[in-house]
Amino acid sequence: MDDLLKLEAELELKALKKQVDKLKEDNKDLRDIIHENGLGEEIGEKRRISPEEEICILGIEQILEAVRSKVSDKNDIVNYDILHKNLRMIRGHADISKPTKKKTTKAELLKIVQGDK
């Protein structure tokens, strides 16, 4: 009788392990969908950051602290600018440092040279 109960418990345990594995797989699929669509913050999940992004954030925080305590110098400002640009690139933002230029035709250039408006 004990063998029968033991066998029954083992079968139930195997079935439960299969259910757990299936739920883990479903959970992973759903998390992948959430991350692909950038919805992690919507469900209260903290966004994972890369080591590069963390370095930029820490560097910016150190420079800001130096500015607040008035011990910063010109190099800190240059480094801040570099770190800020790198952080924007890591996060996928467009580079705002390059102004967009309107293409000018040859006719417009000739008008400018000749003094015509």
The answer for residues whose C-beta is within 8 angstroms of residue 43's C-beta and 6 or more apart is: 34
Burial track 43-59 (b if 16+ CB lie within 10 A, e otherwise): eeeeeeeeeeeeebeeb
Calpha distance 11→79 (Å, rounded): 63
With a cut of 70, say whether residue 116 has pLDDT above it.
no
User: Tell me, what's the pLDDT at 80?
Assistant: 92
pTM (2 d.p.):
0.45
The better pLDDT of the pair 117, 19 is held by 19
Calpha distance 1→6 (Å, rounded): 9
With a cut of 90, say whether residue 41 has pLDDT above it.
no
With a cut of 60, say whether residue 90 has pLDDT above it.
yes
